[in-house]
Amino acid sequence: MITKNKMICENLDRASDGELTFAGVRLSTLAARYGTPLYLYDEDRIRERCRTYLTAIRENFGEGAKALYASKAACFKRLYEIMREEGMGIDVVSSGEIYTAKRAGYPLERAYFHSNNKTDADIVYAMDNGVGYFVVDSTDELLAIDEIARERGIRQRVLLRITPGIDPHTYAAVATGKVDSKFGSAIETGQADEITALALSLGGIELRGFHCHVGSQVFDSDVYLRAAEVMLDFVANIYRTKGYLADELDIGGGYGVRYIESQPEIDIAANIKEVADFMKSYAASLGIALPAVAFEPGRSIVADAGLTVYTVGSVKRIPGYKSYVSVDGGMADNPRFALYGSPYTILPVMHDLPENSDEIEICSVVGRCCESGDIIQENVPVPRNIKRGDLIACLTTGAYHYSMASNYNRLPKPPIVMLNGGRDYVAVRRESFEDLSAQEV
């Protein structure tokens, strides 16, 4: 894997008095203005990541290639506006995401509709709103899409999701490319061949090509090379046996991001070049034209553009056991430790950690929800004098936080404040108690 070595996030710094700044803005100012817990996004960083992908993909694969933002990583109207402005394609996985993209004026003909179980209502909603592509997971779904498309007198463009049989060595919950996965049709079992033959026979379907996604938080570039090899072999095999040559080959998302110092920072441009060099020469050796390639980054577009600010509440020391620092959020705004045991970097806001290790204490940073598993992070170094009212920041919270947030314990979701060139503005306001009860009759 080609990596760069940098500070954990380039957009973090300390002011001369020691206060942590994010995208050039003091966190105490934002906490005072908007309250905590507070989700922040560095808009410039999001745009920079989009441009990194788009430039690398066009330079290495040519104009037909695409970068699709996997919007499940973080989905709200302002983000779709940014994707529209940057010229990114998008992945959506539900009618709710389609609705949100539409509100942002996002051109839905550039959207790819994923999910392993699109309901009939989802299929109708997506077609009525002109979603460009369906990424079809199974035979059942293909037949439903065909029927609904024919009722409308259209041919729906589809990619077929193929399971390449690759283990990306990541958290089990986000590994998706193995044969026994709930996603896609496996090559190994012959089901990928079958669904391709079926798609080619249906009047309501325009087969555009194939898709795979092997997993998330992947650091090993070899995973992409192996997936590309398996998928190109499949494309070539379908061409030989069925005379159908794919126009598009989407190799998914999943590039890992740096949550803690010991993780590498992936050089996206260099990795895309590596994949492109391989795919071009391998397609040539198979004697096929390389289909238009797409990548679907989610986490690596938004993760380190995000940061969460919390206020410390109770500090509890259990002599001979451990110390707990509780914050005013928790698994409701960040479920990822509870789900995957994900690592995070947590920093005090007003001053950096003391130089002298005697003044540092190791604690568990925990949330306010009524579960022992409501932990943000274990073994966090904090200043020994940490106290109620202090601010702390949890870094790299831009992906799979707001989009996975819940109202557990009836906690209103934090607002999303965007930072741009030293300016701050609200993209999503803080939920009120009235919002929490709005659906109750």
Ligand X SMILES: *Cc1c(COP(=O)(O)O)cnc(C)c1O
Q: Which residues are catalytic?
A: 370
Q: At what angle do helices 268-286 and 43-61 cross, to 10 degrees?
A: 20
In the bound complex, what is the minimum distance in angstroms from residue 295's beta carbon to ligand X? Answer: 9
Question: Among residues 70 and 238, whose Cβ is nearest to ligand X?
Answer: 70
Query: Closest separation between CB of residue 267 and ligand X, Å?
Result: 16
By beta-carbon proximity to ligand X, the closer residue of 20 and 135 is 135
- Residue placing its CB nearer to ligand X in the complex, 21 or 216: 216
253 close to 296: Cβ distance less than 8 angstroms: yes
Angle, in degrees to the nearest 10, between helices 95-103 and 77-86? 70
Q: Does 47 bind ligand X (CB under 6 A)?
A: no
Tokens of 187: 């090559």
User: How far apart are CB 201 and ligand X at their closest, in Å?
Assistant: 25
Binding residue for ligand X, selected from 20, 30, 67, 70, defined by CB under 6 A = 70
| C-alpha pair distances (Å), 360 with each of 21, 318, 385, 386 | 22, 16, 8, 9
List 42, 141, 296, 328, residue binding ligand X (CB under 6 A): 296
Smallest gap from residue 218 Cβ to ligand X (A): 7
Tokens standing for residue 24: 């050039």
Which residues touch 151 (CB under 8 Å, ≥6 apart)? Answer: none
Residue among 168, 204, 209, 253 that touches ligand X (CB under 6 A): 253
Size of the site for ligand X (CB under 6 A): 15
Number of Cβ within 10 Å of residue 242's Cβ equals 12
73 binds ligand X (CB under 6 A): yes
When asked if residue 158 is in the footprint of ligand X (CB under 6 A), the reply is no
Indicate whether 66 belongs to the interface with ligand X (CB under 6 A): no
User: Contact, 295 vs 1, CB < 8 A?
Assistant: no
Stretch that binds ligand X, among 187-195, 233-241, 246-254, 371-379 (CB under 6 A): 246-254
For 259, which DSSP code? S
415 interacts with ligand X by CB under 6 A: no
Please provide the DSSP assignment of 263-328 as one string: SPEE-HHHHHHHHHHHHHHHHHHHT-PPPEEEE--SHHHHGGGEEEEEEEEEEEE-TTS-EEEEES
Asked if 250 and 112 count as a contact pair (C-beta separation under 8 A), the reply is yes
Should residue 254 be labelled a site residue for ligand X when binding is judged by CB under 6 A?
yes
- The distance of closest approach from Cβ of residue 213 to ligand X in the complex, given in angstroms and rounded to an integer, is 4
Binding track over 84-123 against ligand X, x by CB under 6 A: -------x----------------------x---------
Of these, 213, 226, 258, 413, which contacts ligand X (CB under 6 A)?
213
Alpha helices per DSSP H over 202-298: 221-242, 268-286
The correct pick among 297, 367, 414, 415 for binding ligand X (CB under 6 A) is: 297
Q: CB under 8 Å to 233, separation ≥6 — which residues?
A: 286
Peptide bond connecting 348 to the previous residue in cis, omega within 30 degrees of 0: no
- Contact between 291 and 248 under an 8 Å Cβ cutoff? The reply is yes
- With CB atoms as reference, the residue minimizing the distance to ligand X is 298
Q: How many CB atoms lie within 10 A of CB 241?
A: 11
| Three state DSSP letters for 30-80 | HHHHHCCCEEEEEHHHHHHHHHHHHHHHHHHHCCCCEEEEEHHHCCCHHHH
The per-residue DSSP string of 135-148 comes to: EE-SHHHHHHHHHH
Which one, 298 or 415, has the nearer CB to ligand X?
298
Out of 45, 102, 299, 368, name the contact with ligand X by CB under 6 A: 299
Nearer to ligand X, 294 or 327 (CB): 294
Nearest distance, CB of residue 352 and ligand X, angstroms: 31
Which structure tokens are listed for 156? Answer: 């729906």
Contact indicator for 42, 422 with CB cutoff of 8 Å: no
Smallest distance from ligand X to CB 163, Å: 12
Q: Rule CB under 6 A: is residue 298 a binding residue for ligand X?
A: yes
Q: Is 252 in the site for ligand X (CB under 6 A)?
A: yes
Minimum CB separation of residue 19 from ligand X in Å reads 31
Of 248-256, 318-326, 346-354, 369-377, the window that binds ligand X (rule: CB under 6 A) is 248-256
Give the residues lining the site for ligand X (CB under 6 A). Answer: 70, 72-73, 91, 114, 213, 216, 252-254, 296-300
